Chains A and B, each alone.
Chain A
Amino acid sequence: MKRLLLALALIAGPALAVNPDEVLDDPVLEERAREISAELRCVVCQGENIDESNADIARDLRLLVRERLLEGESNDEVIDFVVERYGEYVLMTPTTEGANLLLWLAGPALFLVALLGAGAYLRGRSREAEPAPALSPEEEKRLKELTGE
């Protein structure tokens, strides 16, 4: 029974995503590696980035990222390297190229349209409003007395 327990515990696999043996000694480089990892999608997972994923391929990619960083590449160079191999699918942040502009601009554009529409509507509503008669100076004074200002 005990051996069975041990065997079952071992199939558990990595539980940590980033494991201690992957971590670079240089904290600055490691910080950069984590930043890059958060930008790269684990290709076999469902919507996880490689920094969060327990999958083997995510681990391979994490190691690859760190290797390239140690070779002195910049963040963008590392990301480009991975994108060249796996396609833009691995990018967690979609690019702004081509049709993706629609994705990025849809929100702000709709916001502007909505503001213009609402502005027109509000103007219409307020034009219908009858102008309130202004208070005479005496009335203002009396009002101040009454409200104790």
Chain B
Amino acid sequence: MITELGHVALILALAVAIVQTVVPLIGAHKGWSGWIAVAAPAANLQFVFVAASFAALTWAFVTSDFSLHLVWANSHSAKPMLYKISGVWGNHEGSMLLWVLIVALFGAMAVWFGRGLPPRLKARVLAIQGSIGVAFLGFIVFTSNPFLRNDFVPFDGNDLNPLLQDPGLAFHPPFLYLGYVGLSMAFSFAVAALIEGRVDAAWARWVRPWTLAAWVFLTIGIALGSWWAYYELGWGGFWFWDPVENASFMPWLFAAALLHSAIVVEKREALKSWTILLAILAFGFSLIGTFIVRSGIITSVHSFASDPTRGVYILGILAFFTGGALIIYAFRASAMEARGVFSMVSRESALVINNILLAVSSFVVFIGTVWPLFAEMFFDRKLSVGAPFFEAAFTPFMVVLAIVLPLGAMLPWKRARIGRVVRPLLPALVLAVLVMLLAWTMQTERTILGPVGFLLGVWLVAGAATDLMSRTGRGALGNRLRRLTRLPGADWGKATAHAGLGVTFMGVAGLMAWDSEDIRVAQIGESFEVAGFEITLADVRREQGPNYLTTMADMEVRRDGVLITELHPEKRVYPVQAMPTTEAAIHYSFWRDIYLVIGDPQEGGGWAVRTFIKPFANWIWMGSFLMALGGFFSLSDRRYRVAAGATKAQIQGVPAE
């Protein structure tokens, strides 16, 4: 019964979304206020229906209702509750429903928080958002219905892919989707602005929080996914340049670019049409990401539940929204006249450089991701584009970005002198060089990667600190520190996020340059040494978990005879899916991780054991966390709320045509 109600709610949501798209769009065009007023309640209602539908599906998963085909195919009664719930989006149909839920949620949030928006712009934004809802609700109802029943009710389910039964991955998709779909808000605002033919500072101030929120969620989502890959896949890598990872990385880069260009629109009323284009591209790349994941057109470790026919439908959605928006853009972009003027050396120019670097690097990721497909279609060559390509082609842009960032961040608006900016940054530069030299002398390998990564990382972190201190003005240090605590959230956000990027740089460089590895056969009771740590294989046991069987090792790690930790790497088998997984045991710490994997029993006795010592591994995710935190700080800035209120009065004074 609940299932059928969920199904009906889904269809009603589609109907409401159609009304939400058509009526306000016509109303805004004709100036009929009654039709304009339909947008807000429609957006709320659409959200309520989709939420009800999602709740019904969740209920089916929680109660293990195997009469539902989807639950039967992706769940099992013995599965822990957390994974019963995460199983809702651990499959194609459910994950698309989650996607639509978030589209509807953002639409409704635009109603809740968009009180200050001019009614006509708001109606158009909600209509565009509604049309995205129509496309994906239609996709679900007609090709991927999650509410199909089985003809007869099976005794138990097929279980969820064991790799996905993991806390990190349980929350990875929702965050990622919040990010992808959050960019749909920027898209809706961009298209609405194109229809209105007007982009101004107020518009940018409305778009920025949405983009910022989307970017924060994407950051968290990507970091969770990368952390999951690190501890779950069992060889300690954190990023594989896999198509699906790239699919989330491209919108992240575009969102970062959009965030910065929107600042220029807000403060200086320049870069308007470029910002609009970025907003369209950012969401376009979110759709491309969805297409890549859902169609399985590009093979990937992650693409579960992929299906080519569905891919065609998503390709249609992608072509319609991106193509449609770009056509409107081509006709209307010239209406966006820039007002602000600035010299070659200025904050504006620095942000243009930022945008070029982020957009071009994203394009490099894009071409590398789709190249195998292109080469096969047009040149009849079957080839691969793997991690080495991306490392070679993508990294240089990031290096340039890191060099320029602290300088650009401190340049004043309009007109600047480079010398003025370099002087306060000298201590940061000296510190960075010193750390590089220290890293250079301490390392045993000859690679330049580690020292250079630390040079850039320290330069970014110290540069961010310098930037923040410069905001406190002049005077005694005590006064300046006191002023530091009263700086607006945006200043803290900027410094925190930039420093976070530096921390991630150091983590990536440290991990890639200085990790040590050991592969060996260890007898029970045997000790061996890896990079100064004494590791003992005390015992290997076989145990039973709630829905899996496990071979678990007891291993002790000592340094100078002192026990640091006991670790229990596992090898699990999930009998329902007959699938083995590796559960690495990791001792996390600030400077390095100790990462142990247990392998197979060997013919001559003993077990295969793989040990990694991974320096600075946590810094990668610590840095990502700092970036996300910086985004939150900026979001919390009072000026957004105050300014939004202030412009409200001004906008309402504009007479209706």
Contacts and interface: CB of A to CB of B under 8 A. Distances in A.
A82 to B, nearest CB: 13
A133 interface: no
A46, A92, A121, most chain B CB atoms within 10 A: A46
Given A15-B580, A20-B602, A99-B379, A5 B356 contact: no
Contact of B388 (A21, A46, A93, A125): A93
A21 B301 CA distance: 27
Nearest to B361: A107
Contacts of A13: 580, 600
- Give the interface size bracket for B toward A: 35 or more
B360 A111 contact: yes
B313 interface: no
Given A11-B578, A118-B356, A125-B270, A103 B385 contact: yes
A107 B363 contact: yes
B600 A114 contact: no
Interface in B595-626: 597-600, 602, 608-610
Contact of A94 (B385, B414, B597, B610): B385
A130 B551 CA distance: 75
A52 B385 CA distance: 16
A9 B578 CA distance: 10
B352 interface: yes
B573 A122 contact: no
B520 A12 contact: no
A12 B573 contact: yes
B426 interface: no
Contact of A122 (B242, B349, B371): B349
Contacts of B243: 47
B342 A125 contact: yes
A46 B349 CA distance: 42
Given A9-B542, A115-B356, A106 B234 contact: no
A94 B385 CA distance: 6
B379 A98 contact: yes
A14 B608 CA distance: 9
Nearest to B610: A16
Given A107-B363, A110-B360, A14 B382 contact: no
A21 B300 CA distance: 29
A20 B353 contact: no
Interface stretch (A64-72, A73-81, A83-91, A136-144): A83-91
B171 interface: no
Interface string B69-93: 0000000000000000000000000
Contacts of A115: 356
Interface in B324-351: 338, 340-344, 348-349
B389 A19 contact: no
Interface string A1-26: 00001101101111111111101000
A15 B384 contact: no
B608 A16 contact: yes
B208 interface: no
A87 B389 contact: no
Interface string A99-121: 11001101100110011001001
Interface in B292-348: 299-301, 303, 338, 340-344, 348
Contacts of A98: 379, 381
B277 to A, nearest CB: 12
Interface in B396-418: 397, 414-415
Contact of A15 (B242, B303, B378, B571): B571
Contacts of B382: 87-89
Given A8-B549, A9-B549, A89 B384 contact: yes
Interface residues of A, number: 56
B59 interface: no
A123 B117 CA distance: 35
Interface string B424-456: 000000000000000000000000000000000
Given A103-B367, A125-B348, A15 B383 contact: no
A129 interface: yes
B643 interface: no
A90 B573 CA distance: 30
B389 to A, nearest CB: 6
A16 to B, nearest CB: 4
Interface in B438-476: 474
Nearest to A129: B341
B343 A48 contact: no
A99 B375 contact: yes
Given A9-B551, A15-B598, A16-B599, A114 B356 contact: yes
B237 A14 contact: no
Contact of A47 (B240, B342, B393): B240
A39 B392 CA distance: 13
Nearest to B352: A118
B516 interface: no
B386 A106 contact: no
Given A93-B386, A129-B343, A46 B300 contact: yes
Nearest to A111: B360
B152 to A, nearest CB: 28
Nearest to A6: B542
Contacts of B640: none
Nearest to B550: A9
A13 to B, nearest CB: 6
Nearest to B376: A89
B300 A92 contact: no
Contacts of B387: 38, 49, 92
A23 B519 contact: yes
A21 B240 CA distance: 26
A132 interface: yes
A69 B520 CA distance: 21
A39 B388 contact: yes
Contact of A114 (B359, B378, B394, B474): B359
A14 B397 contact: no
Contact of A90 (B303, B356, B384): B384
Contact of A128 (B233, B341, B386): B341
Given A46-B301, A103-B385, A126 B344 contact: yes
Contacts of B520: 20, 23
Nearest to A30: B519
23 contacts: A12-B551, A14-B599, A15-B234, A20-B608, A21-B602, A38-B387, A47-B299, A47-B301, A88-B381, A89-B383, A91-B386, A92-B387, A92-B389, A93-B388, A94-B384, A100-B383, A107-B394, A118-B352, A122-B352, A123-B344, A125-B348, A126-B341, A126-B342
Given A92-B384, A122-B352, A126-B342, 6 more contacts: A9-B551, A20-B520, A38-B387, A94-B384, A114-B359, A125-B342
A-B pairs, top 5 by smallest CB distance, nearest first, are A92-B386, A16-B599, A12-B580, A107-B364, A93-B388
Interface of A: 5-6, 8-9, 11-21, 23, 38-39, 41, 45-49, 52, 87-95, 98-100, 103-104, 106-107, 110-111, 114-115, 118, 121-123, 125-126, 128-130, 132, 148
